[in-house]
Amino acid sequence: MLYFFLTLSLLFLFFAILVIIGKGDMLIAGYNTASEQQRMKMNIKRVRIVVSALLVFVAIILPFIEVFEDHPNIIKILIGAIVAISLIDVILINTWCKNKTQ
């Protein structure tokens, strides 16, 4: 099962690289379906940074979920960390990633 989590982590790292170099914008939820006017309101470079950071963070956490499978409290903390970072990312995308001049 550890190999599954390691493979999944490598997949997340691969997607993070795609997003940060600008080839994975279609992977960003909501951005790929937004109109051109909506896209102009976003600073895509900042969005890429935030999304890539989330993907890297999740890629780092995933193997630890398998390593600590016998410790449910640690797994709860790890999953809580993923949820917290995801919420922080949503907030950053809706504040820091918006273009100020419109």
**Structural domain boundaries enclosing 80:** 2-94
**Residues 36-50: tens digit of each pLDDT:** 999 999 999 999 999
Q: Tell me how far apart the alpha carbons of residues 79 and 86 are, in angstroms, rounded to a whole number.
A: 11
Q: Given the structure tokens 């419109």, which residue do they identify?
A: 102
**Residues 16-72: tens digit of each pLDDT:** 999 999 999 988 988 888 999 999 999 999 999 999 999 999 999 999 999 999 999
Q: Tell me how far apart the alpha carbons of residues 4 and 26 are, in angstroms, rounded to a whole number.
A: 25
Q: Tell me how far apart the alpha carbons of residues 91 and 13 are, in angstroms, rounded to a whole number.
A: 22
Residue bearing the bigger pLDDT, 88 or 32? 88
Q: Tell me how far apart the alpha carbons of residues 75 and 36 are, in angstroms, rounded to a whole number.
A: 41
Q: Does 101 reside within a domain?
A: no
Q: Does 99 reside within a domain?
A: no
Number of domains in the chain: 1
Residues 6+ positions from 17 with CB-CB distance below 8 Å: 52
